[in-house]
């Protein structure tokens, strides 16, 4: 007889604390499958002493006042976040949800981990897990996304675009010369708010902070779909973006049927190679008019691309989007500070102790320049789709609501499981398309 067929696991209640502690299959499965820890339903921590050891391994020593204050700040921000965004429940089934007072007025942070390990039949356990999910997300933001010199990084990257934007007679133009493209507008995303970062992570399946690629972004709005491909070609041909630094898997096209646009692009390229401005102008006008009468392609590839890229995006939102890494070069302040210190100390005749200290500060390979790759999200969209994105299901406000709803379902999953009467999945709105978590 096959061993795996004959083997029967011991009788146990999968929801009991003792079973989860002795037979922690859920946690082992999360490790093996590489899922996000914020989706686990319960912890397996027995008491404060075990919670202390868990937090020490996680990176926080509660005997250290600085670590303790940091964790308390993260806890308070998590409570504020839940009360601000989730206290009214989900848009498909609004209900007032109040954090229990013993959790909100917590005296010992270790209790939160112990309560999160309690029976799943209790609201206290569900709320403890909810707050820990937010705390874990904030922990990753604070310790993964600290980028020194962000202002200088932003200036270097966005200047590539800003120096190629020309305003003439009230018209915004990308570039100069025959390949220049008139724009309806250009918009810069120069930093996400902290709450936006939290939401971004909460609705990402892996909940990984370093995978946030849109802290910096540029949106080019063209007058028509033909100019979308023209703008992309200008960015590439003028080395404003470097295709070799493209981030794989981060490109999304829900706007252009590339198979149909290829012959149009080749024809346009031949026309522009001749150098006849009148012929070029005539070609652009005729092609744009022809494309205007053809609705955006609704083929399965574009639809699948949209759904795979971002579950919060509306099916009505159509654009071209990709992420590139830009290499930025920054002065190393530590190098110059040490050099200035050396100049001053040399006036007083350096001794061996000071010389050794300076060499230690300078390091064996002191560099004048710091280099790093930083992501930039580029989006190109035509005027009609941009205007449509301002209102309706494709609007930014509608997108934010869908994102908030998905995050609410994920964070409060335990609470919704205990109270089906407030679970929005019982009564889903048609345009939410929310997955069961």
> Tens digit of pLDDT for each residue in 376-417?
999 999 998 898 887 765 567 777 888 888 899 899 999 988
pLDDT value of residue 300:
42
Tell whether 45 and 178 lie within a shared domain: no
| Domain around 296 | 150-325+375-394
Tell whether 137 and 183 lie within a shared domain: no
Q: Structure tokens of 217? A: 């972004």
Tell whether 131 and 155 lie within a shared domain: no
Tell me the pTM.
0.73
Q: Structure tokens of 107? A: 């005296």
pLDDT value of residue 433:
36
Which parts of the chain sit beneath pLDDT 70? 1-24, 146, 208-211, 292-316, 333-334, 336-337, 339, 342, 344-351, 353, 355-367, 392-395, 426-437
Tell whether 21 and 97 lie within a shared domain: yes
The answer to the question of residue 422 being in a domain is no
Tell whether 177 and 320 lie within a shared domain: yes
Tell whether 58 and 173 lie within a shared domain: no
Tell whether 189 and 319 lie within a shared domain: yes
Tell whether 243 and 289 lie within a shared domain: yes
- In this structure, the number of other CB atoms found within 10 A of the CB of residue 59 comes to 11
pLDDT above 90: percentage of residues in the chain = 33
pLDDT value of residue 5:
46
pLDDT value of residue 334:
66
Helix (H, G, I), strand (E, B) or coil at 280: helix
pLDDT value of residue 436:
29
Tell whether 281 and 160 lie within a shared domain: yes
The answer to the question of residue 407 being in a domain is no
- Of 258, 247, 214, 223, the closest CA to residue 379 belongs to 214
- In this structure, the number of other CB atoms found within 10 A of the CB of residue 256 comes to 23
Whether the CA torsion 330, 357, 355, 359 is positive or negative: it is negative
The answer to the question of residue 207 being in a domain is yes
pLDDT value of residue 28:
76
Tell whether 171 and 284 lie within a shared domain: yes
Inter-residue contact 319 to 379 (CB < 8 Å): yes
- Of 102, 323, 285, the closest CA to residue 182 belongs to 285
Whether the CA torsion 176, 178, 182, 183 is positive or negative: it is negative
pLDDT value of residue 185:
95
Tell whether 196 and 216 lie within a shared domain: yes
> How many structural domains is the chain composed of?
3
């Amino acid at each position: 007889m096959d061993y795996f067929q004959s083997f029967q696991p011991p009788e146990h209640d999968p929801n009991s604390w003792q079973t989860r502690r002795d037979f922690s299959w859920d946690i082992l499965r999360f490790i093996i499958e590489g899922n996000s820890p914020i989706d686990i339903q319960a912890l397996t921590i027995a008491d404060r002493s075990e919670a202390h050891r868990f937090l020490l391994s996680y990176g926080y020593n509660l005997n250290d006042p600085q670590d303790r204050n940091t964790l308390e700040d993260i806890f308070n921000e998590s409570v504020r976040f839940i009360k601000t965004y989730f206290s009214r429940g989900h848009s498909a089934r609004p209900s007032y949800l109040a954090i229990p007072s013993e959790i909100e007025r917590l005296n010992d942070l270790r209790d939160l981990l112990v309560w999160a390990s309690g029976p799943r039949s209790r609201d206290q356990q569900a709320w403890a897990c909810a707050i820990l999910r937010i705390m874990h997300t904030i922990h990753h933001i604070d310790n993964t996304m600290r980028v020194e010199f962000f202002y200088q990084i932003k200036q270097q990257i966005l200047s590539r675009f800003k120096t190629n934007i020309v305003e003439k007679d009230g018209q915004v133009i990308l570039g100069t010369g025959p390949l220049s493209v008139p724009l309806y507008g250009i918009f810069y995303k120069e930093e996400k708010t902290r709450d936006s970062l939290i939401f971004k992570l909460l609705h990402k399946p892996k909940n990984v902070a370093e995978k946030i690629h849109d802290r910096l972004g540029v949106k080019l709005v063209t007058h028509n779909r033909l100019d979308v491909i023209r703008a992309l070609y200008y960015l590439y041909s003028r080395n404003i973006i470097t295709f070799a630094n493209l981030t794989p898997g981060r490109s999304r096209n829900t706007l252009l049927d590339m198979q149909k646009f290829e012959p149009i692009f080749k024809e346009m390229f031949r026309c522009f190679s001749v150098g006849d401005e009148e012929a070029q102008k005539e070609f652009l006008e005729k092609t744009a008019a022809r494309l205007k009468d053809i609705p955006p392609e609704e083929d399965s590839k574009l639809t699948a691309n949209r759904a795979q890229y971002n579950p919060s995006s509306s099916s009505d939102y159509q654009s071209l989007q990709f992420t590139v890494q830009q290499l930025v070069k920054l002065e190393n302040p530590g190098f110059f500070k040490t050099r200035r210190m050396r100049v001053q100390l040399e006036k007083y005749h350096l001794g061996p102790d000071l010389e050794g200290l300076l060499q230690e500060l300078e390091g064996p390979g002191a560099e004048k320049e710091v280099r790093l790759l930083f992501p930039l999200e580029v989006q190109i969209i035509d005027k009609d789709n941009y205007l449509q994105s301002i209102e309706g299901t494709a609007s930014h406000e509608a997108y934010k609501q869908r994102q908030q709803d998905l995050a609410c379902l994920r964070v409060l999953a335990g609470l919704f499981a205990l109270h089906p009467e407030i679970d929005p999945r019982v009564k889903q709105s048609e345009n939410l398309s929310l997955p069961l978590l």
